[in-house]
Amino acid sequence: MRRIEWQAATVEQITVETPRVKSFSLRPSRWHPFRAGQHYDIRLTAPDGYQAQRSYSIASAPENQGVLDFTIELIPDGEISPFFHQVVEIGDQIEIRGPIGGPFTWSVADGGPLLLIGGGSGIVPLMSMLRHRREAAESPDRPDTALLYSSRTMADVIYRRELDEMPAPEETISIHHTLTRGAPPGWRGYSRRVDAEMIAEVADLLGSVGVAYICGPDGFVETVADLLVARGVTPESIHTERFGPSGPQA
């Protein structure tokens, strides 16, 4: 097995996604192919030698070679995410190590129907899967896909425009939002925490769930995985990734 070495990556672009979320395009000095869903470790070293590292999912598609996109939510009392939001600039060098992760990966060849359920920044690895699926437009294996994405408010929806543009008329993909802390007037999506009825409605559009990927805060992932199992989705076809220790849902 390849030993995963630390390497330098250069920050090429910074994109403001929402008031609390930014994306960072990093060009690693050595390119390693990856699968959608994998992550990198990012390490910071202070002048006194103190080091801290955290994991960040890859947001870009594996086809987008040469540059890795990471999307980082600001945790105000955190160590690493405030550094990214307040200190990192274009041209900076960052230490990264990856790609890492096996079970939480998907490629078009793995099939479907594909159900993706994300809470907050848990959308990031699911976005890599959706971008990969879009890149595979010519593939006859491209499965029917549904995304259920839970955000606090409309302003917190990451990649909103790109998600809005994903379901072209010929597409067998549907995108469903739920807003848990207030919806704007005229909102036609869901406006409550993910529940059994919501999952049933989204899953029914797929006919059956071949494979499901859930990502978000610990409590969110646990709740949603339980709901899927209660609906009859086999545990082996449910893949989960937990980002952090926050409350029951995004």
Number of H helices and E strands in the chain, helices first, is 5, 11
- What does the buried/exposed string (b/e) look like for 115-144 if buried means 16 or more CB atoms within 10 Å of the residue's CB? bbbbbbbbbbbbbbbbbbbbebeeeeebbb
**x-marked contacts with ligand FAD along 104-133 as a string, rule CB under 6 A:** -----------------x--x---------
CB nearer to ligand FAD: pick between 127 and 212:
127
Q: Which is nearer to ligand FAD, 58 or 175 (CB)?
A: 58
Respond yes or no on whether the N-terminal peptide bond of residue 99 is cis (omega within 30° of 0). yes
Q: Interacting stretch for ligand FAD, rule CB under 6 A, among 145-153, 169-177, 196-204, 237-245?
A: 237-245
Between 69 and 206, name the residue whose CB sits nearer to ligand FAD: 69
Window 191 to 220, contacts with ligand FAD (CB under 6 A):
217
| CA distance linking residue 177 with residue 130, whole number of Å | 15
Q: Which residues contact 154 (CB under 8 A, 6 or more apart)?
A: 160, 179, 183, 184, 187
Positive or negative CA dihedral for 39, 59, 212, 120? positive
Q: What is the per-residue binding string for ligand FAD in 69-88, x denoting contact by CB under 6 A?
A: --xxx-x-xxxxx-------
Residue 131 CB, shortest distance to ligand FAD, in Å, is 14
Which amino acid makes up residue 19? P
Question: Can you tell me the distance from the alpha carbon of 80 to that of 84, in angstroms, rounded to the nearest whole number?
Answer: 7
- The residue among 95 and 144 lying less far from ligand FAD, judged by its C-beta, is 95
Is 54 a binding residue for ligand FAD by CB under 6 A? The answer is: yes
Q: Which is nearer to ligand FAD, 103 or 185 (CB)?
A: 103
Does the protein bind ligand FAD through residue 50 (CB under 6 A)?
no
- Residue 25 interacting with ligand FAD (CB under 6 A): no
Tokens at 48, concatenated? 């006194």
Q: For binding to ligand FAD (CB under 6 A), which residues are involved?
A: 39, 54-57, 71-73, 75, 77-81, 121, 124, 217, 241, 243-246
